[in-house]
Structure 1
């Protein structure tokens, strides 16, 4: 059985991403073709990248990096839940991605994003980052604009369109994670 992480990438106090990630995780519970786990970047309390050697070498000195590597390395694929900050990726998520290398390689990744334009610009940047980390990003994505998916711009209320789109993201991430399995072995 494939193991997929739902990665919550915002650590901001009062973040709306928690409600979005919880929704993704709850929808995943309906699946029988993979297991899912919610991974919150905030739980790892990662400082700004502080490893003296490049992550591509895989020689981690700090316990926080080792814990992060152990958590991330155990998955076959990821669904990253991200906000859009200033037309890009939240700094905490970028930092968390940069801490590791081999743990991300040859795994599938899909995106659920939110923000004023649904987080599309953050995902554009994440696709470039994923390519450098040797991840296979899937085409489908879920974009959640403040104006249509958040009541009064605060309370997350996913539309039928979002639910349907998330099903497609699950389908593609699971298919690609399975297809990439021989490369991970």
Structure 2
């Protein structure tokens, strides 16, 4: 029997994003997971248009082949981990657009996050969980948050230390999330 496939979706597409550092750390930690298979999906690598369909693909099939390709990619996953940057108390525009490009493909699948920002990405993750409920995903209680002093220790905005410097602070959250 194959392992459930979990997409790790990087929600920031900025050139100077911080997302790569925590994503690489997370992927390293889950590389040999005995029950789950993780695959990184970087929104930078997806050719997604701005959402411009007649309606959600729940009601009307999407016409843009780029949206259809995204939907087909998502359909192959059993759950999602979002790497969430907090932009102005919410998720990035790129992530919101990617979420809007599909509907059925998100349904009844668990989701959680690795969130970061000055308050650990908590406000963005709260918004993401509300969107996930509308998309009929199943938000998990636990998530990994990198915030406050830990964020500024590993962020280029602060000391730019390796994630290993704060790993002990993330271990319990990571264990609870997986």
- Taking structure 1 as the reference length, what is the TM-score of the superposition? 0.86
**Ranges in structure 1 where 5+ consecutive residues have no aligned partner:** 171-185
Aligned to 1:134: 136
Distance 1:162 1:46 in 2: 32
Q: CA deviation at 1:47?
A: 2.2
Separation in structure 2 between the aligned mates of residue 161 and residue 77 of structure 1, nearest angstrom: 25
User: Partner of 2:99: helix, strand, or coil?
Assistant: helix
Matches for 1:37-52 after TM superposition, within 5 Å = 37-52=39-54
Inter-partner Cα distance in structure 2 for 1:29 and 1:58 = 38
Paired residue secondary structure (1:151) = helix
Which residue number corresponds to residue 34 of structure 2?
A: 32
**How far apart in 1 are the matches of 2:61 and 2:116?**
34
**Which residue of 1 is the match for residue 78 of structure 2?**
76
Q: Which residue of 2 aligns with 1:118?
A: 120
The Cα of 1:45 is off from its aligned counterpart by: 2.8
More helix, by proportion:
1
Shift of 1:30: 2.7
Contact 2:7/2:80 (8 A) holds in 1? yes
2:170 matched residue in structure 1? 162
**Distance (Å, rounded) in 1 between the aligned partners of 2:141 and 2:95:** 20
Structure 1 position 10, deviation (Å) = 0.5
Would you say how many aligned residue pairs link Structure 1 and Structure 2? 170
Q: After TM superposition, list the pairs within 5 Å mapping 1:59-70 onto structure 2.
A: 59-70=61-72
Is contact 1:143–1:162 with CA below 8 Å preserved after alignment?
yes
Aligned to 2:57: 55
Taking structure 2 as the reference length, what is the TM-score of the superposition?
0.89
Report the RMSD for the aligned CA atoms in angstroms. Answer: 1.5
Structure 1 segments, 4+ long, off by >6 Å, are: none
Distance 1:72 1:126, change over 3 A: same
Give, in whole Å, the separation in 2 of the partners of 1:164 and 1:99: 34
Please tell me whether the aligned partners of residues 55 and 98 of structure 1 are also in contact (alpha carbons under 8 angstroms).
no
Match of 2:20 in 1: 18
User: Is 1:148 the counterpart of 2:150 in the alignment?
Assistant: yes
Equivalent pair of 1:4/1:36 in contact (CA under 8 Å): yes
- Higher mean alpha-carbon deviation, 132-141 vs 51-60, is at 51-60
- Contact kept? 1:106, 1:135, Cα under 8 Å: yes
Give how far 1:149 is off: 3.6
Q: Which residue of 1 aligns with 2:93?
A: 91
Q: What displacement does 1:163 show?
A: 2.7
